[in-house]
């Protein structure tokens, strides 16, 4: 790996892309430490520590600690991810968007522009809810129009800036800018997460117990990484044969290729979508300061992962079952969006390709 990086740095273009990406990531980490003007960050940190369960912990993890710090990047790229998912769903319901998506480079640029506008609109809505909700609960230094507008502007601008950074990394860096921004946010939390694990299972234990705990922790981490890589890279290769045809005076075609169908076509999107749906009521109720009782309070506990798998309160584990059902549902749903058998079969037929033993057209699509 070190040899590969060394060789990459010898090529000027690749070196510039890597350095540009690293520079942008440094800017992101600096921005995650800059607090929103007018927010009482100490009071907010105390409130965050009192929150039970994983709703806000998950939100803070994917923002790289920006939410806990209540920095200008607290919303992070969540509005962009939500916007992208919404646009992909709308392409099914709105024929004009579907036609635009197929309209080559011009169509792609229009879709990107619409996604940007939707991202800013979502960021504006979320930042407004946060500013007003926090102001009512005393998390703003002074709850007045100026501080509310300042908070809304800072959070919206921060989210738009991260979207811009992601696009620049895609264009001028090493590519996949939005994914890299999300990954660096999650990785930035690893030292703290490992510290919490060691504090809970290693520090203060007998030497033999501590060593065993360290071995188990790292074994689980390595096993999880290996399984994720295998699942992410796993494909089923469907063989495709292209018919021979005359082109001028030459016989062309006849090559054999394959379609690599990914085992995990939908990626991590179903998990993010399921998390967002289950955490949305919890986050909204926390923002408006809801501390009620009754059926609604019990439902909120069931949606909160902090109450799952507790022997003393097994009823709340129904939320875990709902979470699993949502992940499976969105995995099927998102796969149906990203993988279109009819389109693939039609393109194969136009190019003279066919799967051995399967007739072109609908039989190929069904297969």
Q: Give per-residue pLDDT as tens, 265-310.
A: 888 878 878 887 887 787 777 666 666 677 887 887 788 777 788 8
Query: What is the predicted pLDDT for the residue at 216?
Result: 93
pTM of the model: 0.77
144 shares a domain with 82:
yes
pLDDT (0 to 100) of residue 183: 85
- If asked whether residues 169 and 216 sit together in one domain, one would say no
| pLDDT at residue 25, rounded to an integer | 92
Please indicate, yes or no, whether residues 44 and 168 belong to a single structural domain of this protein: yes
Q: Residue 168: its pLDDT value, please?
A: 93
Q: What is the pLDDT of residue 315?
A: 86
Residue numbers of the domain that contains 225? 193-233
User: Is the model's pLDDT at 55 over the cut of 70?
Assistant: no
Q: Are residues 58 and 126 in the same domain?
A: yes
What Cα–Cα distance (Å) separates residue 162 from each residue in 79, 117, 156, 166, 209?
10, 14, 10, 6, 44
- Residue 231 scores a pLDDT above 60: yes
Cα 204 from chain centroid?
A: 37
118 and 167 together in one domain: yes
In this structure, are 31 and 112 located in the same domain?
yes
Residues 143 and 107 grouped into a single domain: yes
Q: State whether 141 and 39 are in the same domain.
A: yes
343-367 per-position pLDDT tens digit: 888 888 887 788 888 888 888 888 8
Structural domain ending residue among the three candidates 129, 155, 188: 188
The answer as to whether 7 is a domain residue is yes
pLDDT, mean over the chain: 83
Region 151-167 average pLDDT = 94
Please state the rounded mean pLDDT for residues 30-43.
85
Are 53 and 201 members of one domain? no
Q: Give the span between the Cα atoms of 171 and 176, in whole angstroms.
A: 9
Query: 275 in a domain, yes or no?
Result: no
| Residue 174 within any structural domain of the chain | yes
What residues contact residue 75 under an 8 Å CB cut-off, 6+ apart? 63, 123, 126, 127, 155, 156, 158, 159
Same structural domain for residues 129 and 243?
no
Q: Which of 72-81, 216-225, 306-315, 332-341 has the highest average model confidence (pLDDT)?
A: 216-225
Looking at the domain assignment, is residue 292 inside a domain?
no
Does 99 have pLDDT greater than 60? yes
Residue 252 shares a structural domain with residue 352: yes
**How many structural domains are present in the chain?**
3
Asked whether residue 36 falls in the same domain as residue 122, the answer is yes
> Is 350 inside a domain boundary?
yes
């Amino acid at each position: 790996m070190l040899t590969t990086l060394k060789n990459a740095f010898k090529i000027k273009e690749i070196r510039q892309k890597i350095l540009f990406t690293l520079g942008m990531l440094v800017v992101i980490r600096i921005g995650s430490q800059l607090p929103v003007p007018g927010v009482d960050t100490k009071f907010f940190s105390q409130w965050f520590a009192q929150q039970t369960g994983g709703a806000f912990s998950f939100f803070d993890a994917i923002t790289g600690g920006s939410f806990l710090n209540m920095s200008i990047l607290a919303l992070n790229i969540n509005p962009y991810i939500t916007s992208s998912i919404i646009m992909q769903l709308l392409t099914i319901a709105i024929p004009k968007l579907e036609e635009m998506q197929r309209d080559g480079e011009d169509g792609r640029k229009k879709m990107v522009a619409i996604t940007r506008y939707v991202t800013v609109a979502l960021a504006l809505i979320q930042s407004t809810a946060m500013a007003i909700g926090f102001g009512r609960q005393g998390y703003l230094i002074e709850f007045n129009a100026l501080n509310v507008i300042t908070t809304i502007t800072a959070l919206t601008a921060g989210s738009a800036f991260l979207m811009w950074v992601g696009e620049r990394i895609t264009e001028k860096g090493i590519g996949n800018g939005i994914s890299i921004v999300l990954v660096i946010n999650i990785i930035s939390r690893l030292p703290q997460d490992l510290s919490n694990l060691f504090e809970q299972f290693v520090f203060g234990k007998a030497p033999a117990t501590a060593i065993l705990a360290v071995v188990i922790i790292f074994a689980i981490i390595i096993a999880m990484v290996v399984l994720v890589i295998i699942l992410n890279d796993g494909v089923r290769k469907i063989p495709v044969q292209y018919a021979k045809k005359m082109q001028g005076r030459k016989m062309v075609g006849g090559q054999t290729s394959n379609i690599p169908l990914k085992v995990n076509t939908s990626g991590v999107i179903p998990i993010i979508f399921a998390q967002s749906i289950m955490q949305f009521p919890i986050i909204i109720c926390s923002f408006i300061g809801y501390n009620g009782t009754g059926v609604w309070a019990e439902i909120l506990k069931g949606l909160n992962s902090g109450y799952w798998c507790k022997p003393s309160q097994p009823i709340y584990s129904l939320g875990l079952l709902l979470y699993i059902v949502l992940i499976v549902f969105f995995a099927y749903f998102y796969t149906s969006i990203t993988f279109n058998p009819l389109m693939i079969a039609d393109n194969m037929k136009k190019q003279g390709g066919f799967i051995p033993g399967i007739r072109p057209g609908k039989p190929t699509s069904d297969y």
